[in-house]
Amino acid sequence: MATLPTPGTHVIEDTDTRLEPPYHLILLDDDHHTYQYVIAMMAAIFGYSRDKGFAIACMVDSQGQAIVMTASMDEVTLKQQQIHSYGADPLMKTSKGSMSAIIEPATSPG
């Protein structure tokens, strides 16, 4: 025998199905890191293939920046910290530290 709700019973449902808006993690260009560095960093931090890392390095070099990830704020913040702590490029004497990445909302056009 099933128990049914009485007339005074209210069933509370969580109807807030909104998802957290996505964010872009954007790698910024500089003159202190090589393509090899970017390729290795993309593999180490994101697990990206050499080809994808090279494509990102080309984009950063030609456009001044490249979106390397779109995800929740928590996820992009963690990856941003990993980029910022990756260290200097051992192939360049002028490289004094890690590359920089910024976080921006991934807004839809329109």
pLDDT on residue 20: 80
Orientation angle between helical segments 35-46 and 50-63, nearest 10 degrees: 130
Give the SS3 label for residue 97: coil
Residue-range domains of the chain with CATH:
23-105 (3.30.1390.10)
Helix (DSSP H) and strand (DSSP E) numbers for the chain: 3, 3
Q: 4 falls in which pLDDT band (50, 70, 90)? A: low
Amino acid symbol at 18: R
pLDDT on residue 50: 98
What is the Cα–Cα distance from 27 to 20, expressed in whole angstroms? Answer: 22
pLDDT in tens, 55-107: 999 999 999 999 999 999 999 999 999 999 999 999 999 999 999 999 999 98
Rg (the chain; Cα; Å): 22
* Residue 99 in tokens: 């590359």
pLDDT on residue 108: 60
pLDDT on residue 107: 83
pLDDT in tens, 7-28: 555 555 554 445 789 999 999 9
pLDDT in tens, 27-42: 999 999 999 999 999 9
- To the nearest 10°, the Cα dihedral for 70, 75, 80, 85? -140
